Amino acid sequence: MSKPLNFPFTALVGQDDMKTALILNVIDPSLSGVLIRGEKGTAKSTAVRGLADLLPETETAQGCRFNCPPDPKADLCPECRERYEAGEEIPGQPYRTRVVELPVGATEDRVLGTLDIEKAITEGIKEFSPGLLAQANRNILYVDEVNLLDDHLVDILLDSAAMGVNVVEREGVSYAHPARFTLVGTMNPEEGELRPQLLDRFGLCVQVEGVNRADDRAEVVKRRLAFEANPEKFCRSHGRAGKALTKKMAKAGRLIKRIKLPDERLDQVVRISLAVGTDGHRADLTMIKAARALAAFDGRLEITEEDVDRAARLALPHRIKRKPFEEMVFDLEEILAACR
Amino acid sequence: MHQINDSTASRAVPVRPPATELVYPFTALVGQELMKTALLLTAVDPTLGGVLILGHKGTAKSTAARGLARLWPDGGRLVTLPLGATEDKVIGSIDIEAALAQGRARPEPGLLSRADRGVLYIDEVNLLDEHLSALILDAAARGLVQVEREGVSFSYPARFSLIGTMNPEEGQLSPQLLDRFGLAVEIHSEQDPDLRRQVIRRRLAFEDDPAAFVKKFSARERGVANMVQRARDRIRDIIVPDAVMIKAGLIAQSASAAGQRAELSLIKAARALAALNDQPKVSPADVIAVADLALYHRRRQEEEVVHQMEQVQSDQPPRPDNKEEKPAPASPDRSQAPERSKSQTSGTEEAGGGLEKMFEANKAYQVATSQTSRNGGFLGSSGRRLRRETGDGSGHYVRASMDRLGREIALDATLRAAAPNQNKRGRTDRRVIIKSPDIREKVKVKTTGRLVIFAVDASGSMGSLLRMREAKAAVLSLLAEAYQKRDRVGMISFRGQTADVILPPTNSVELAQKCLEDLPTGGKTPLAHALLTAREVVDREMARDNKLDPLVVLLSDGKPNVPLNSKADAWDELLEIAVRVRRPGLNYLVVDTDWGHYLSFNLCRQLAESLDGQLIKLDDLRAEGLVKLVQEKAPVRRR
C-alpha cells in the first residue's frame, strides 16, 4: 500500500510567515525550529508535512536504528561506530526526511528511550530501546500543542534539539545517540503559555490566523476539494512549483556560507534587541542568522536592512519581555524603523 | 560494606560520543568578568564549594560551565546531570546486565562517581527534584556516596564541586541547597552594543567552524589552564594575614550573613584570587573583590511588617467615605480619579488626629507580615516551586519505591530486585522469574502549580473602579510571570445580586486580556455569593489537579449587604459561610480596600478570621504591592 499523498506545500494559500519560517529552517537548521501559534485548523501540520516532501532525498546506514548517515566520519550512534570500528562497510539506503509526530500523552521513557524490557525479561540482557528522539534524528519533529506538554518533556525536547544529542541515564541504561532534528511546535496561546525559558529556545515564532479574505477562503476550499477529489492529479499539477522550491532552498543552503556579516547589520540587530529589551543573546543570533538565510533564499550575497527587519518579525514575537502593569501594546514596527 | 575502586565495579560508561567534544572556549566568552572569576576561583580551590550562577535565559551560563571543564586541573571532568535522570543512575545501583546474565549483584556506581575530583553541573538547579537534590547534597558534603539497595551495600568517592545555574524568575532554591554553594553570581545580558556585537560574531564563528575557532583560542586556553593549575599548587602556601581575617569577619557581619560559612568562603575566595594573581599573601583588596561572590546568597533577610504601618506615620489625607446614597455609576468612567480628589467626609470617620490612635489599636490585630526581597534578586520572585510526588501517574519518574500503592510498575527496579534471586528460584533458561516481593513502583514527581483566584468587589462603593483596575493589572502581571503552565490565575467579580467568574483560571495572558477588557462596576455587595463561587472554582481546579496550591484573594471593604438568603442578616450569614468555605490547603487573603476606616478594618478582620485566612490592609491599592503580596503569600502551606 503506497503512502498517502500530502497536500502540496506550494498549494497552500496565504500563511506566508509560517511558510517562510519553515523554509528558513530548512536552509539553516541551526535556526532552532519554529513555534507556530494559532487556533486549530490553520494548516499547520499540513504545511510541515508538505515541506518535508520537498526536502532532498538522502541516505541512511542500513540497519541503523537512528537514521545515521552511511559515513564513518559523521556524528554516529554507538552501534554504527562499533560496526565501522569492526571494519564493516555499511551500505547506504535511500531515505526521505519525514515528519515524526509526538503522540499525545507521550511519556518520558517513550521519548528518550529506555531499557528494552522484553529483551531483559525474556533473554536476560540489557539493551537500549530507542525512543522518539531516535526516530527524530535527521527528521522533523512535530509537536502539536506543545504548551500542554509536561514541562519536563518540553525541556528534554529542546535540550536535545539544541545539543544535537540525546543523553540517557535512566532505568538501568546509560546511552547517548545523535538527535539532530528540526523542532516544530504548535500551540494555541489561549490554552496556556510556555515558560519564557522554553519560548526562548524556539528560534522563530509565527502567528497564524485563519485565512480572512473571502476570496482567499474560497480558494482554500477549492484547492482542498480538488486535492481530495484526485490527489495524484493535484500533486502533479504542483509538482513543478515544488521542484523549483526544492532547488531554490538547496541553492540557498550552499550560498549561506559565502554571505558576509557586515558590522552595520550587526549594529542594527543589536539596536533592535536592546530596544525591545530581550533577555540574553539568542534573539540576536537568531535574527542575524535568519536575515542571512533570507538573503540566501533570495539569491543574494548581501544582507539588507529589510532582511533584518523581516528576520526581527520572525525572531522576536515570543521573546518580548512582558512588562507588568502596562498594556501589552508593543509596536515592533516603530522600533524597527527607528533602528535602521 | 565495601569500598569501590574502579576495578571491581562496572565502570559507569562515559556516554558522550567523542565527536561532539568541541566546546566553546571559556576564554572566548565576552564580558561577564565576575562570573568568569567565580568559576576560576572554584577551579583553584574546589573546597570553596562551587558556584551558583543566576541569570536569565541565553546569558551563557551553561556555556561558561562547560568551558570551565576544559580548564579544570588534574584532568577533572565536568559531569552534567542529564534531564530525566533517575536515582539509580545518579547515585548507583546494581548492574542489571550482570544481574540478569549471571545472577550476580554487581555494584554499579552512579554518575556521581564520574564527577569525582571534578565538577557536577546541574542546569536549572532550582527545578531539581527534592529527593535527588538531598542525595546530591549529601554526597557533596561527605565527598562520598553510600548506596544501599537491592541487597548490596557499597560506597565510592565523589568529591566534586557543584556548578548550578538557574533563572531567578523561575523560583527560589531551597536554603540547604543554596548554602551548599560557595559562591553565587548574578549575570545579565550584555547591554553594551559593541560587546554585544562581539558576542554574536564569536558565536557565529564558532558555529560555522568549531575546530578552527577552538584552535584560535587554544593558546589562551592553555595559558589560563596553566594559571589555574599553578594557583592550585601554591594555594596552601599563601599567607592570610590577621588583618585580612578580621576584615573578612567584619564584612560578613555587616551583611548579617548567618553562620561561619560565609566568612570561610570569603577568606578562601580571597586566597584563591591571590593565588591566581601570583601573590604571596592575601590583601584586603582581594577580600573586597570577592565579597559579593561569597555573600550574595547569604545575606540574611529581615522580616518587615507590611509597609503601610510605617506610612501611617506620615500624613495622608483620609479617603472620602462611601455614601450609600450616592448613585452608583452605571458604567465605568475612566476619567475619574477616585482616590484623593473628593473631599467629602462622613460623620463616622475619624478625622486626621485620630489616625494614630486607630492604627495603634490595629497593631494588636493580626496583620500579615511580608518578607522583603532584594530588588530583582532571586529571593523575591515567585516563591519556591516544589516538586511533589503525584499519585496519579502524571509527572516524571525519578526513582522506584518498594511501597505498593498501585502506581506504575518500575520495571528496571523490579528486574534488579528479581535478578539476584534467579538461581534460587530455579531459573533454567534465559527468562527472568519475577515474584511479588520484587515488584517496585515508580515514584513520579512534578512541579506543583499555584492557583490564585481574585474575588473583587465591584459594587458601587467608592473606589471600586480603581480596585478593579488594580486587580486587573495584578492579574495580568501575575500571568505574565506564571512560568509554570500549571500556575493559573482567575478572577471573580461580585456586584448586584451575584458573583460572576469573569476569568476562568488560566495561565494565558491573551485570554485574560480578552475577558478583562470591560469590568463593569456598580450595585450592591453580594459577598457571601462571592465566597461560595470562589470556593467552587477552587474545588473544580483541585479536582483536576489535587496538588495545586490555591489562594483566594478577596478585595473588598467587607460590608456585605446582599445576603444569599433574603431573610438572613447579610453579615451573620457571611461569617457563617466564611467558615464553611474553608478547606485544608486553601489559603485566604482578605484585602481591605477601604482605607482609613476603623469600622471596615474590623469587619475585614472578622471576615479573615472566619476564613482562617490572613488580612492585609492597603491604603492605596496599587497593583505592584498586591502582586508582591500574592507572590509571597502563595507558597504558604497550611498544616
Interface membership of B180 toward A (CB under 8 Å): no
Give the pLDDT score at A57: 84
Q: How far is A264 from chain B (nearest CA, A)?
A: 10
Average pLDDT over all residues of chain B: 75
* Residue A201 predicted with pLDDT over 70: yes
Band (A36; pLDDT cuts 50, 70, 90): very high
Question: How confident is the model over B255-305, as pLDDT tens digits?
Answer: 877 667 888 999 999 999 999 999 999 999 999 999 999 988 887 644 322
Give the pLDDT score at B282: 95
* Residue B215 predicted with pLDDT over 60: yes
Q: Among A274-278, B157-161, B355-359, B542-546, whose mean pLDDT is lowest?
A: B355-359
Inspect the interface and report whether the beta carbons of B84 and A112 lie closer than 8 Å: yes
Average pLDDT over all residues of chain A: 87
* Residue B353 predicted with pLDDT over 50: no
Candidate list A37, A83, A265, A282, residue with the active-site label? A282
For A:99-128, CB contacts with B below 8 A are 108-109, 112, 114-115, 117, 120-126
DSSP label of B230: H
Q: Which residues of A touch B189 (CB under 8 A)?
A: 278-281
Band (A228; pLDDT cuts 50, 70, 90): very high
Q: How far is B632 from chain A (nearest CA, A)?
A: 17
Strand-pair category, A139-143 with A181-187: parallel
* Residue B384 predicted with pLDDT over 60: no
* Residue A12 predicted with pLDDT over 60: yes
Beta strands in B110-229 (DSSP E): 118-122, 144-149, 152-157, 160-166, 183-187
Inter-residue contact A126 to A175 (CB < 8 Å): no
Q: Which residue has the higher pLDDT, A7 or B260?
A: A7
For B:605-634, CB contacts with A below 8 A are 623-624, 627
Give the pLDDT score at B309: 28
Inspect the interface and report whether the beta carbons of A120 and B411 lie closer than 8 Å: yes
For A:304-333, CB contacts with B below 8 A are 322-325, 328
Q: Which residues of A touch B485 (CB under 8 A)?
A: 147-148, 151, 192-195
Residue A43 in grid coordinates: 494548516
Interface membership of A195 toward B (CB under 8 Å): yes
Handedness of CA B372, B375, B380, B382 (dihedral sign): positive
d(CA B429, CA A124): 9
Q: Which run of H or E residues covers position B554? A: strand B549-556
Percent of chain A with pLDDT over 70: 96
Residue A99 in grid coordinates: 515528519
Q: Which residues of B touch A201 (CB under 8 A)?
A: 57
Interface test with B, best of A171, A195, A271 (most B CBs within 10 A): A171
Active site (annotated) includes residue A282 = yes
Handedness of CA A220, A224, A230, A232 (dihedral sign): positive
> Which chain B residue lies closest to A189 (C-alpha atoms)?
B508
Question: How confident is the model over B499-536, as pLDDT tens digits?
Answer: 889 888 887 777 777 777 777 777 778 888 999 999 99
Residues in CB range of B463: below 8 A, 6 or more apart: B319, B322, B338, B339, B557, B593, B594, B621
Q: Which residue has the higher pLDDT, A103 or B378?
A: A103
d(CA A122, CA A94): 34
Q: Which residues of B touch A117 (CB under 8 A)?
A: 411
Inspect the interface and report whether the beta carbons of A120 and B90 lie closer than 8 Å: no
Q: Which residues of B touch A324 (CB under 8 A)?
A: 473, 476-477, 480-481, 623-624, 627
Highest averaged pLDDT of the listed ranges A163-177, A223-237, B241-255, B432-446: A223-237
Mean pLDDT of all residues in B169-181 = 77
Inspect the interface and report whether the beta carbons of B90 and A175 lie closer than 8 Å: no
* Residue B25 predicted with pLDDT over 90: yes
d(CA A186, CA A205): 10
**A167 vs B16, B190, B483: nearest CB:** B16
Mean pLDDT of all residues in B310-331 = 36
CA neighbor of A179 nearest in space, from A77, A94, A283: A77
Q: List phi, psi (to 5°) of A185.
A: -115, 145
> Which chain A residue lies closest to B13 (C-alpha atoms)?
A174
Give the pLDDT score at A322: 56
Q: Which residue has the higher pLDDT, A149 or B382?
A: A149
DSSP label of B302: P
* Residue A197 predicted with pLDDT over 90: no
Mean pLDDT of all residues in B98-106 = 75
For A:280-309, CB contacts with B below 8 A are 280-285, 288-289
Band (B214; pLDDT cuts 50, 70, 90): very high
Give the pLDDT score at A330: 60
CA neighbor of B42 nearest in space, from B32, B31, B28, B53: B53
Give the pLDDT score at A25: 94
Mean pLDDT of all residues in B162-173 = 81
Beta strands in chain A (DSSP E): 34-38, 58-61, 92-95, 99-101, 113-115, 128-130, 139-143, 165-170, 173-178, 181-187, 204-208
Inspect the interface and report whether the beta carbons of A125 and B201 lie closer than 8 Å: no
Interface membership of B19 toward A (CB under 8 Å): yes
Interface test with B, best of A116, A174, A286, A327 (most B CBs within 10 A): A174
Q: Which residues of A touch B514 (CB under 8 A)?
A: 190
Q: Among A100-114, A317-331, B143-157, B482-496, whose mean pLDDT is lowest?
A: A317-331
Interface membership of B334 toward A (CB under 8 Å): no
Give the pLDDT score at B386: 58
DSSP label of B239: B
Interface test with A, best of B24, B32, B114, B196 (most A CBs within 10 A): B196
Question: How confident is the model over A126-183, as pLDDT tens digits?
Answer: 889 999 999 999 999 999 888 888 777 888 888 888 888 998 988 888 899 999 999 9
Interface membership of B513 toward A (CB under 8 Å): yes
Q: Which residues of A touch B477 (CB under 8 A)?
A: 322, 324-325
Q: Which residue has the higher pLDDT, B337 or A90?
A: A90
Interface membership of B83 toward A (CB under 8 Å): yes
Q: How far is A266 from chain B (nearest CA, A)?
A: 6
Mean pLDDT of all residues in B426-442 = 84
**A279 vs B58, B93, B510: nearest CB:** B58
Candidate list B234, B261, B384, B469, residue with the active-site label? B261
Percent of chain B with pLDDT over 90: 23
Question: How confident is the model over B37-73, as pLDDT tens digits?
Answer: 999 999 999 888 889 999 877 778 888 998 998 888 8
Inspect the interface and report whether the beta carbons of B397 and A170 lie closer than 8 Å: yes
Interface test with B, best of A108, A157, A169, A323 (most B CBs within 10 A): A169
Band (B436; pLDDT cuts 50, 70, 90): confident
Give the pLDDT score at A249: 94
Give the pLDDT score at B16: 44
Interface test with A, best of B189, B488, B627 (most A CBs within 10 A): B189
**B13 vs A109, A174, A267: nearest CB:** A174
Q: List phi, psi (to 5°) of A337.
A: -65, -40
Give the pLDDT score at B518: 73
Q: Which residue has the higher pLDDT, B558 or A130?
A: A130
**B508 vs A155, A172, A189: nearest CB:** A189
Band (B238; pLDDT cuts 50, 70, 90): very high
Going from the C-alpha of A304 to that of each of A261, A295, A300, B461, the distances in angstroms are 10, 8, 9, 59
Give the pLDDT score at A293: 97
Mean pLDDT of all residues in A194-208 = 85
Rg of chain B over all Cα atoms, to the nearest angstrom: 30
CB atoms within 10 A of CB B102: 14
Q: List phi, psi (to 5°) of A151.
A: -55, -40
DSSP H helix total and E strand total for chain B: 21, 21
Going from the C-alpha of A237 to that of each of A3, A6, A232, A233, the distances in angstroms are 19, 13, 9, 6
Q: Which residue has the higher pLDDT, B217 or B596?
A: B217
* Residue B326 predicted with pLDDT over 50: no
Q: List phi, psi (to 5°) of A47.
A: -60, -45
Band (B343; pLDDT cuts 50, 70, 90): very low
Band (B398; pLDDT cuts 50, 70, 90): confident
First to last CA, chain B: 40
d(CA B249, CA B266): 9
Give the pLDDT score at B494: 86
